[in-house]
């Protein structure tokens, strides 16, 4: 039976994609590299190393990941203040999970600094999540199951007893590979593209009750 819920962050709890894209474009512009939002689309959900590194490769720019990631996060922090809020249904869904006594985790491909910024902007009560896992905690990224397996371990649960909430194709694949059930939100991809999931919703506001009742 379900004992825990593991949430991806971007596209599930918040929609920060346009903000991190803006920050990354500004960072590249500071180096004289002109980028466009479409340049980043193939790297969404892969973690910031690949998100920035993939675009740098396309433009022939020798990126310094330590320096340029730090600058991107600094710009992101400035950009999102007061502008980044929860997606529809987040607070109510988290309340439903807590009312059922479920343990909760965040498992995001983003680095810890971005995860912490996003959680700050969500203005959730301290202790909302029992475990936090970020992209720096695992070597293999989604679609590998490692991040969800680690989140389950930190919840002291089996992955098979957890529901993963995802919005990305790689995330759904990672949840399946971990042996977890998956609720797919169609905030970023179509239902057809997310066909491997067990449950579907447009946002957490209209998540089916069956996703928490198995």
Q: What is the pLDDT of residues 75-101, one digit of tens each?
A: 999 999 999 999 999 999 999 999 999
d(CA 204, CA 169): 17
> What pLDDT shows up at residue 5?
98
How many domains does the chain divide into?
2
| In a shared domain, residues 9 and 113 | yes
| In a shared domain, residues 61 and 133 | no
Tell me the pLDDT band of 41, cut-offs 50, 70 and 90: confident
| In a shared domain, residues 170 and 149 | yes
> 111 catalytic, yes or no?
no
Determine phi and psi for 37, rounding to 5 degrees.
-50, -35
From 10, 111, 161, 198, active-site residue? 10
C-beta of residue 151 within 8 angstroms of C-beta of residue 142? no
pTM of the complete model: 0.90
User: Torsion angle, CA of 187/3/153/118, rounded to 10 degrees?
Assistant: 40
| In a shared domain, residues 130 and 201 | yes
Q: Which residue has the tokens 């946002």?
A: 203
| In a shared domain, residues 122 and 25 | no
Tell me the pLDDT band of 119, cut-offs 50, 70 and 90: very high
| In a shared domain, residues 109 and 178 | yes
Determine phi and psi for 19, rounding to 5 degrees.
-75, -45
Of 31, 62, 80, which residue constitutes the final position of a domain?
80
| In a shared domain, residues 74 and 99 | no
Tell me the pLDDT band of 47, cut-offs 50, 70 and 90: confident
The residue range of the domain holding 53 is 17-80
| In a shared domain, residues 101 and 189 | yes
> 15 catalytic, yes or no?
no
| In a shared domain, residues 121 and 75 | no
């Amino acid at each position: 039976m379900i004992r825990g819920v593991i949430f991806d962050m971007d596209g599930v709890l918040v929609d920060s994609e346009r903000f991190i894209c803006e920050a990354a474009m500004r960072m590249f512009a500071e180096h004289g590299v002109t980028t466009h939002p479409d340049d980043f689309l193939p790297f969404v959900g892969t973690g910031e190393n690949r998100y920035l590194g993939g675009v740098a490769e396309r433009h022939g720019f020798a990126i310094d990941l330590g320096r340029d990631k730090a600058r991107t996060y600094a710009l992101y922090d400035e950009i999102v203040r007061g502008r980044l809020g929860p997606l529809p249904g987040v607070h109510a869904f988290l309340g439903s999970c807590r009312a059922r006594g479920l343990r909760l985790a965040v498992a995001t491909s983003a680095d810890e600094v971005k995860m912490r910024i996003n959680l700050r902007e969500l203005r959730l009560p301290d202790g909302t999540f029992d475990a936090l896992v970020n992209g720096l905690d695992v070597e293999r990224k989604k679609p590998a199951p490692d991040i969800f397996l680690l989140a389950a371990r930190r919840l002291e649960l089996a992955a098979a007893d957890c529901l993963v909430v995802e919005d990305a194709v790689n995330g759904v694949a990672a949840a399946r590979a971990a042996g977890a059930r998956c609720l797919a939100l169609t905030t970023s991809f179509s239902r057809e593209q997310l066909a491997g999931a067990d449950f579907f919703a447009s946002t957490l506001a209209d998540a089916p009750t069956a996703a928490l009742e198995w």
